[in-house]
Amino acid sequence: MGINSDSDITANLQIGPTDQGMVRIYVQGETVDLPMDFDPQEALEIAEELKGAAQRAAAMVAGNSKKKR
């Protein structure tokens, strides 16, 4: 499965600090229970990647809506 593959899998996502000073991304679904811990600097890098991806996706949506006019 890749980034552009459709999926019927649903999961919950929780993000927050741990009591050990790490940032945890926790994914929980029907067949998965996945805690991922990152140091604060890694978490900031992930946040930058997420923001960049969101900006690119928004630009794609904006470009597609202009084409439909």
Tell me which of 45 and 64 has the higher pLDDT.
45
pLDDT in tens, 18-47: 999 999 999 999 999 999 999 999 999 999
Q: Which two tokens stand for residue 59?
A: 């630009």
8 A C-beta contact, residue 26 and residue 32 = no
8 A C-beta contact, residue 44 and residue 33 = no
Classify 54 as helix, strand or coil: helix
Beta bridge partners of 35: 26
Q: Count of residues for the chain?
A: 69
pTM summary value: 0.78
pLDDT of residue 69 exceeding 90, the answer is: no
